[in-house]
Copies of this chain bind each other. A is one copy, B any other.
């Protein structure tokens, strides 16, 4: 009558076998005669037995979970990233623990705490200190997402510097703009740092004096509105702004519209990321397309492999290619399928993307500037994003 909670031993008693046999049947390993298997199977189903995750995890020495650390959820970029990551993880029956460090000062300790509950950790670039990152890497496999880790820690990110350079050169050289302002805080994240670097590099390459300090604002849409208020109330408002991401740029558009400032006639605005709205606003946003879903997928797969104990984990930094997407907000005419009014920046390879179907593959061309740690690959399984008709993409 010791029919307490449902455990292996209980099921074993009910089926008249040993715990080893129950475990063998429930896991489908080892040799069990057909007759015994059936008997055990029946006992399992009859009582709705499901092995306890903790016991199993303890025995296996594996949590069956990975962690995802990010600063906070702002905008489609993070949403997409998290969803992509989660989708990949759930695919391998691994659960995902999240940790938002945003605005928390004791976050490093919490990340370390989390590291003890998972088999691997994906850390968004810039969310934890390098020291802590090393400490984590000593505990569990770690992959840095959208940033670079210390030596030995693999990372996955999108190319930012060259893309930002090309974008800025397009404004400086092709449109002849001067006095551009960068909107975003480079200290915010490695992504923004890279974009700011590219912004400066373009000025250097063209032979212009280095730009002024960036307008340090957050990455959300209302931050862009705020930035517009700041910039457009100046005595001499800038003729163009390079925003750290699309949200900010969209906010800038809204702020400009509220003041009657016309884009691109009075003010040129560019974004970064190519979120769905970027193609839908008017004027459509000139921006840089980032393969967010693939970024997330790659990170997840890399991490899951490492978490599963596969030692063949590359410690390389994976850099995914990005595309400059030229639309109207930079002052270019609406694309009609004909060539651009001005030649694209010489540092980039120009090309047109025609309407591609949902599963269309993007060609696996290696991106230009790569350092020795940099690999550029293409994953044919990742679904490409459908470019809006009429987009002109420059790589």
CB proximity of A301 to chain B, nearest CB, Å: 17
Question: In the complex, are the beta carbons of A83 and B97 less than 8 A apart?
Answer: no
Known A54-B57, A277-B221, A280-B222: A113·B93 in contact at CB below 8 Å: yes
Closest to A257 in B: B282
List which A136-194 residues lie within 8 A (CB) of chain B.
Answer: none
CB proximity of A261 to chain B, nearest CB, Å: 12
Interface size on A, residues (CB 8 A): 50
Question: In the complex, are the beta carbons of B74 and A79 less than 8 A apart?
Answer: yes
Closest to A107 in B: B90
Question: In the complex, are the beta carbons of A276 and B221 less than 8 A apart?
Answer: yes
CB proximity of A121 to chain B, nearest CB, Å: 12
Cross-interface CB contact of A86 among B50, B79, B99, B225, cutoff 8 Å: B99
Asked if A98 CB lies within 8 Å of chain B CBs, one says: yes
Question: In the complex, are the beta carbons of A79 and B73 less than 8 A apart?
Answer: yes
Question: In the complex, are the beta carbons of B95 and A96 less than 8 A apart?
Answer: no
Assembly stoichiometry (copies)? 2
List which A41-88 residues lie within 8 A (CB) of chain B.
Answer: 50, 52-55, 57-58, 63-65, 72-75, 78-80, 82-83, 86-87
Interface string of A250-290 (1 = CB under 8 A from B): 01001101100000000000000000110011100000000
Question: In the complex, are the beta carbons of A251 and B280 less than 8 A apart?
Answer: yes
Please, how many angstroms separate the alpha-carbon atoms of A72 and B83 in the complex? Answer: 7
Closest to A226 in B: B280
A116 proximity list for chain B (CB < 8 A): 50, 52-53
Asked if A100 CB lies within 8 Å of chain B CBs, one says: yes
Question: In the complex, are the beta carbons of B50 and A54 less than 8 A apart?
Answer: no
Cross-interface CB contact of A73 among B73, B220, B225, B280, cutoff 8 Å: B73
